Structure 1
């Protein structure tokens, strides 16, 4: 009887373990981000390890269709142009499944990048493997990493979605300035505001 009970317990544990979703724990401040290799609209594959001299990385999860993401496109482009010469590389990642949101297909990403003159790699999270690692939930959702890929800031780009001229707090830029001064960003986290990431259910 004991043998049978033990066998049933083993089978139960195996069954549960085998079918528990392997959901990554979202990054927190101080975590070290895992590098990725994703395809960009220019046809090339990009990793953070490609940028040997980088002082840090601005990883922005964004997309084509979301009204919030669209309102931030020009600001994201300006950030890429401003901070690349300073050693901070901006990498934009589209996390959405095009089967759920056709406007976010790779082909339409290429069209959007050309129309807007994106000055940064616009990457496709094919198979939706990267955004769960980061814990991104919105488009846009921003992660600032230092040169060692340590997560130093998570959240919104600034405090005003609708109007650039009415922005009072440039959260991301303030976080970069803190790193440049050898200080801890404050705040280290803010609430990302945007559209939910579109994934198959």
Structure 2
């Protein structure tokens, strides 16, 4: 199953960037695993074909060990607590001169900390709760479309209320992924040069 709901929002992105996201998985206090791919699909054996573009995501959590490149994900030991990372250099800018576009990814694993620290983040309203708020630069984003991917790859798009909040429906136990995208028009500086449109994509995973 493809991310139809998210793809509809990201129609302007090139095919690879439109379908791909960066997300983090963590089991208890084990190492963090950072992925690039299509989270609503089963990961191909050996990893997503675009995984080689995920080179050096910036971890905001204290790193306690070296980063190891595995088959389909980066693995790194981090301090206890929720894990956050972001990357603005996965895909190079695309499009005509003066109308170039780019994408920046924000990823989080865990719902123990009811706060946001990245420019775009899906944060729990309360520790380990099932209500989340889409926060952009410290402010809730009313009407944001949040895609939910359940452990069995069931998907649903939720629309945030006036407080930027959504309630994740309860289904089976396992790992859930939440995703949101915002399109920013204007002058933006990126590692690949200036762009006129910046797509921001944030994910949060948690285990229920």
The alignment's TM-score, normalised by the length of structure 2, stands at 0.26
Structure with the largest fraction of helix: 1
Greater C-alpha radius of gyration: 1
Query: Which is richer in strand?
Result: 2
Larger RCO: Structure 1 or Structure 2 (Cα < 8 Å, ≥ 6 residues apart)?
Answer: 1
Alignment TM-score, normalising by the size of structure 1: 0.27
